[in-house]
Structure 1
Amino acid sequence: MTSFPVLRLATATLLAASVLALALPAAHAQSPSGAPIRLIVGASPGGSTDTLARSISDELSKAVGQPVIVENKPGAGGKLAAMEVARATPDGNTLLVSFTSHTINAALYSKLQYDPLADFTPITLLARVSSVLVARPDLPAKDLGELVARAKADGKDLSFAIGGTGSSLHMDTYEFLTATGLKGTQIPFKGTAPAMTDVMAGHVDLMFAPVGVSRPLIQAGKLRALAVTGTKRIPALAQVPPISEAVPAYNTNHGWFGVLGPAKMSPERTARIHAGIVKALADPKLRERLEDDGSTPDGSGTAAFAAFLQADLNYWVAKAKVFGIQPE
């Protein structure tokens, strides 16, 4: 009489074990170690890169079935953050939310402690970014064309505030001086905010600035917007023409944000993370916020992003030679 309940218990146990065995591969695909995903950002909290990382974290968490946390590791033009991700286990639990300096650094430093291409798995290009050339409010030229003409006529140096040495905004300055043939004095600052403060105060003539940070100051009349990088106007500053209208020789190379993992991540894990990020980028509110910052959302596939990174690195290596920059 007791054999039937025992048999039923044994059958139920066997069935439960079978179901668990079937469920394990799916659970493993979502959460290889059960640990949260760390989005490493090589910039301070509150900046454009940090804000974008936090904006994609929720959808990424849903896609992979893991918590996602953002960790800021600023300093050295993004090299500290990149180094940490390059050395991480390639399980997809440590990712880099990177920006243009990732490829520029290859042109500026002869001995990086990592390979910006070979030591990473490209996941997706998040967005391409335009910047804006701003001037002190009392600059006598009414537009960029007049500024260039006046500077060439009087032969005086223009002063440029540099908010981040070696940044894409710094490279914009080099490109502008090269394309116009003008003389310029570059004044380095410890960050974008103090650089803009000195331009607003009239101590420095010009600077290339992030659109999102400078737009309220432009609207308030504290800075004058002369032109945006790129070949066309952007929604965030629709009234501001592209540099190429006044300086046809200016060669635009957009800044960018992207997500990379350590080298040798599995294709399945990479695809799952990519899908979560693309879903986040489809959110209308996020797209609007990116456009307000002068960015164009992307979401490219991993192969396209890999090709983009290689082309961008080659571009900056060639430009460094044109600009006369000697790698450190």
Structure 2
Amino acid sequence: MNRFPTRRTAVAAMLVLATAAAHAAGFPSKTIRLLVGASAGGTTDTLAREIAEDMTKTLGQPVIVENKPGAGGNIAAQEVARAPADGHTLLVSFTSHTMNASLFKKLPYDPVADFTPIALLAQVSSVLVTRTDAPFQSLADVLAQGRKEKQGLTFAIGGTGSSLHMDTYEFELASGVKVTQIPFKGTSPALADVLAGHVDLMFAPVNGARPLIQSGKLRALAVAGTKRIAAFPDAPPITEQIPKYTTNYGWFGVLGPAKLPADVTRALNAAVNKAMQQPRVKARLEADGSTPELGTPEQFGTFLAADLKHWASQTKAFGIKPE
């Protein structure tokens, strides 16, 4: 998936114009709700709260975060899809928003047609980890051992249907190494079994794995992207050893109901982009292995359409049937 051009100077110049035009039209006229389809304390929730603080200052009305976890983000998405198209109810979405179209036979909404793209916040890659006393010192060791083992290597799955799960499928497909997937009900129990030596490896979220890597309990073997990241500068990109590997980037973005007025959409885009430029937000994202993004609503719309096709292609290649 192509990265957006940042155009930071142009974005900064448009902030005042966009927000002033919206204020003149009477937006916002009340509290803005940012719905998050995940539990409090996670990466999506934390990011939503970071941008809400700055958006409140920019827009002159309270911007509050409401957690609506469940069904892979579907509950929150459905509420926003049915909300009035006035810009006061928004969705802080993540990867499952487009992925779910390939995992579920029927969704209660169309992930593209029923929403107005506002802004892409960030893209994030995962990290391949093992315990430090495992026999793997590098990804090359993993590949060599995996090709010897008839039973294959065991991989912990911290979230069925997540981008981390798709990373595991992609590893097996691109490397030719047999993989036995061990599903867990969340990242924490999956990491615990990797630490205990019950499972060989795991694609883990950067923010969840970082403390364990820094404390010397886990080893970062590779990052699931095409370049190194600041969080793990010594971990090479997985494509150095597996050139055919297709990175399944996770992402975060802001959506509104379909048919938001253009001036409201522009004002929200400007407020979100301004929030994303705050040093504390950028520092948090980079520490979590994320790449902050700045772009227009139209660019985010193009991204969503491409991501929808990406997951359809991936799930087909992996033989995953929608439920």
Distance in structure 2 (CA, Å) of the matches to 1:172 and 1:26: 44
Q: CA RMSD in A?
A: 1.2
Any residues of structure 2 matched to 1:119-134 within 5 Å, and which? 119-134=114-129
- What's the CA shift string for 1:15-36, capped at 9, x where partnerless? xxxxxxxxxx94652324x2x1
Note the residue ranges of structure 2 that are not aligned, 5 or more in a row: 1-21
Distance in structure 2 (CA, Å) of the matches to 1:305 and 1:26: 24
The residue number in structure 1 matching 2:303 is 308
Q: SS of the residue aligned with 2:73?
A: helix
For the pair 1:83 / 2:78, whether they are aligned, the reply is: yes
- What's the CA shift string for 1:251-305, capped at 9, x where partnerless? 1131110000010110111111111111111111211110000000002110000
TM-score w.r.t. structure 2 length? 0.91
Question: Percent same amino acid among aligned pairs?
Answer: 62
Shift of residue 64 of structure 1? 2.2
For the pair 1:164 / 2:159, whether they are aligned, the reply is: yes
The residue number in structure 2 matching 1:231 is 226
The residue number in structure 1 matching 2:28 is 31
The residue number in structure 1 matching 2:241 is 246
Greater per-residue helix proportion: 1
Q: Aligned pairs, how many? A: 302
Note the residue ranges of structure 1 that are not aligned, 5 or more in a row: 1-24
Give the letter aligned to residue 70 of structure 1.
V
The residue number in structure 2 matching 1:322 is 317
The residue number in structure 2 matching 1:140 is 135
Distance in structure 2 (CA, Å) of the matches to 1:134 and 1:180: 16
Q: SS of the residue aligned with 2:231?
A: helix
Distance in structure 2 (CA, Å) of the matches to 1:26 and 1:142: 57
Distance in structure 1 (CA, Å) of the matches to 2:27 and 2:57: 10
Q: CA contact under 8 A between 1:30 and 1:66: conserved in structure 2?
A: no
Distance in structure 2 (CA, Å) of the matches to 1:237 and 1:136: 16
Distance in structure 2 (CA, Å) of the matches to 1:159 and 1:73: 33
Shift of residue 91 of structure 1? 0.8
Q: CA contact under 8 A between 2:166 and 2:248: conserved in structure 1?
A: no
- What's the CA shift string for 1:73-132, capped at 9, x where partnerless? 111111111111111111111111011111110111121111000000000100010110
Shift of residue 246 of structure 1? 1.2
Q: SS of the residue aligned with 1:231?
A: coil
Q: SS of the residue aligned with 2:216?
A: coil
Q: Tell me which stretches of 4 or more aligned residues in structure 1 moved more than 6 Å.
A: none
Distance in structure 2 (CA, Å) of the matches to 1:285 and 1:67: 20
The residue number in structure 2 matching 1:216 is 211
Q: SS of the residue aligned with 1:239?
A: coil
Q: SS of the residue aligned with 1:252?
A: coil
Q: CA contact under 8 A between 1:29 and 1:269: conserved in structure 2?
A: no
The residue number in structure 2 matching 1:61 is 56
Distance in structure 1 (CA, Å) of the matches to 2:304 and 2:212: 33
Q: CA contact under 8 A between 2:130 and 2:136: conserved in structure 1?
A: no
Counterpart of 1:288 (choices 283, 287, 311) is: 283
Bigger radius of gyration among the two: 1
Q: SS of the residue aligned with 1:38?
A: strand
For the pair 1:108 / 2:103, whether they are aligned, the reply is: yes
- What's the CA shift string for 1:192-212, capped at 9, x where partnerless? 111111111111111111111
Q: SS of the residue aligned with 1:30?
A: coil
1:180 to 1:136, Cα distance in 2 relative to 1, 3 A: same
Distance in structure 2 (CA, Å) of the matches to 1:41 and 1:195: 24
Q: SS of the residue aligned with 1:29?
A: coil
Q: CA contact under 8 A between 1:158 and 1:183: conserved in structure 2?
A: yes
Distance in structure 2 (CA, Å) of the matches to 1:118 and 1:296: 27
Give the letter aligned to residue 30 of structure 1.
F
Give the letter aligned to residue 181 of structure 2.
Q
Give the letter aligned to residue 111 of structure 1.
K
Q: SS of the residue aligned with 1:325?
A: coil
Shift of residue 71 of structure 1? 0.6
Give the letter aligned to residue 112 of structure 2.
L
Larger relative CO (CA 8 A, sep 6+): 1 or 2?
2
Any residues of structure 2 matched to 1:5-16 within 5 Å, and which? none
Q: CA contact under 8 A between 2:38 and 2:69: conserved in structure 1?
A: yes
Distance in structure 1 (CA, Å) of the matches to 2:247 and 2:28: 41
The residue number in structure 1 matching 2:88 is 93
